[in-house]
Amino acid sequence: MKVMVVGEGEGELFFFCQALKALGAELIHAATLDEDKVVLHRVDMVVHRWSSFNADVQTVQIQNLKEADPNLVIVLFAPTQDVGAVRHRFPRELVADTRALEAAHAERTARAALQEARARRGMPPVPVAAA
């Protein structure tokens, strides 16, 4: 699975990115929600830290990504107060509270995201013993 991580995979996304790698995902870093990079690298999943500051721009970018690949899984991590609004805006995407990025939850969150991406691509589930 190829996963585009918007940002460097540092800070809040660090443990989640480490868990994705441990589960066999190939990470591709991008500065923005880059439609061309998704198509070029045949990305299966995009991970993004939602910000209500530029919600309209992010919404357009995500819609463009979904037009390019309707089965692309978008994983959005939002602050607690924004989770409901983001889920309402993107009902088919995976929206989680940023608390799911904490070390204690990162592996379970990464596994669930990869399971969804594999299911949308018609692939078998992530093996339990993957490391």
pLDDT tens digits for range 63-78: 999 998 999 999 999 9
Q: Taking 70 as the threshold, does the pLDDT of residue 12 lie above it?
A: yes
**pTM of the model as a whole:** 0.89
SS3 10: coil
Task: Tell me how crowded residue 13 is: count the other CB atoms within 10 A of its CB.
Answer: 21
* pLDDT higher than threshold 50 for residue 131: no
**CATH assignment, 2-120:** 3.40.50.2300
Average pLDDT, the chain: 91
pLDDT at 34 (0 to 100) = 86
Which regions of 8-103 does DSSP assign to beta strands (E)? 26-30, 45-49, 73-78, 94-97
Kindly state the average pLDDT of the residues 124-129.
Answer: 74
Could you tell me the residue ranges of all domains in the chain?
2-120
